[in-house]
Homo-oligomer: A and B are copies of this chain.
Amino acid sequence: MNSLKSIAWSEGRLRLLDQRLLPHEVVFIDYVDHNDVAVGIREMVVRGAPAIGAAGAYGLVLAAAASTAGTAHDLQADLDHAAAVLRAARPTAVNLTWAIERVITRAAQAAASGHQAMRAAVLAEAQAIQDEDVRVNRQIGLNAMPLVPDSARILHHCNTGSLATCDYGTALGIIRTAHEQGKRVQVYVDETRPRLQGARLTTWELQQLQIPHTLIVDGAAAHIMRTQGVELCVVGCDRVAANGDTANKIGTYHLALAAAAHGVPFYVAAPTSTIDLSLSTGDNIEIEERPAEEVTHIDGRPIPPEGIMAANPAFDVTPASYITAIITEAGIAYPPYIDSLAKLVGLARTPAASKAR
């Protein structure tokens, strides 16, 4: 597809595609300071759980490079500080925390070899996270194929494609794999208010991939299911609890209810890095409340009169009971998720499974 990567590392700089301006302007921002990366993540220059994980990891690479520490101990302290800044940028997607912890752990393992070895290790781990993400996405796409019939009409929420990841995509990766395999899929694209990631980003990716699609307002999904028919819904996720409860972009739960009412299978595409076994249920997932202006203003212009209150929960939690299956790179989890997710996460973290993907 397009050569526009959401995230690229080159010559000591992290380059992010500014997704706030797509599809009308293609602008890259180069980062050399991890504090700026944290701002970029918060302001959604980069978004999508896997992509912000990788961006956070490269943020630590920048912190390591900028650090004047002359000892492993001092560098570890600088990295810990940077990690706290980056981790705080967005609370809901676990991938950010997960990627940062991976890099910090790798740095600590290299500490015995000195601060220069730590710097090299930090970079190597960030690159590994980026590379693995692409492989993981492709494997999720392949694993999902038994669930996607030919000529499927697929309802998709938010953006989960190349832009939301390091490349290829999770839920959109499934759609893409089906298309590449010759299944004649057709996508109903939820525009995904308030930030319109479906309208701005998913349509743009699908257009380039030449996958047939129709944009709809989020409120039309149930009507489309009732009158046109939809074979499956597939969404990404920002954090999956041990019991399968799934946090994802606001509107996902609303969509899952419509799917349940119509007997439409509802699938979540989840790299195992998004599964948080430390949380027993979705009730423990922190839901980010974003600025009201994202609801009250579009492209900087106000919609309601001045002085209006708006709520802007950026995510919602879909209870596991509404999720037909969770598709990971290590296989497909079915209910009861408390068992199936733990098993797949275990598989993904063994070397054999790594090789398999």
Question: Residues of A with Cβ closer than 8 Å to B?
Answer: 23-24, 188, 190-194, 196, 199-200, 203-204, 207, 213-224, 226-227, 250-255, 257-258, 260-261, 287, 295-296, 298-299, 301-305, 307-313, 316-317
Contacts and interface: CB of A to CB of B under 8 A. Distances in A.
A254 B190 CA distance: 13
B305 A23 contact: yes
A222 B309 contact: no
Contact of A309 (B215, B218, B261, B310): B215
Nearest to A218: B219
Contacts of A254: 218-223, 254, 258
B307 A253 contact: no
17 contacts: A193-B217, A194-B217, A199-B296, A204-B305, A213-B308, A214-B311, A215-B308, A216-B295, A216-B310, A219-B254, A220-B251, A222-B254, A223-B250, A223-B317, A227-B313, A254-B254, A257-B257
Contact of A218 (B204, B213, B218, B311): B218
Contact of A199 (B23, B304, B307, B311): B304
B295 A215 contact: yes
A239 to B, nearest CB: 15
B203 A308 contact: yes
Counting every copy of the chain, the complex holds 2
A201 to B, nearest CB: 9
A221 B250 CA distance: 9
A73 to B, nearest CB: 44
A310 B215 CA distance: 4
Contacts of A260: 261
Give the residue among A196, A227, A257, A296 with the most B Cβ atoms within 10 A.
A257
A193 B309 CA distance: 18
Contacts of A302: 24
Given A190-B219, A261-B261, 13 more contacts: A191-B295, A199-B303, A203-B305, A204-B304, A207-B305, A215-B295, A215-B310, A215-B311, A217-B295, A218-B251, A219-B252, A223-B317, A298-B298
A216 B193 CA distance: 10
A313 B214 CA distance: 12
A303 B298 CA distance: 10
A303 B191 contact: yes
A138 to B, nearest CB: 25
A187 B311 CA distance: 12
A253 to B, nearest CB: 5
Nearest to A22: B305
Given A196-B303, A215-B308, A220 B313 contact: yes
A27 to B, nearest CB: 15
A223 B193 CA distance: 14
A308 B223 contact: no
B311 A224 contact: yes
A214 B308 CA distance: 7
Given A250-B223, A254-B223, A258-B254, A304 B217 contact: no
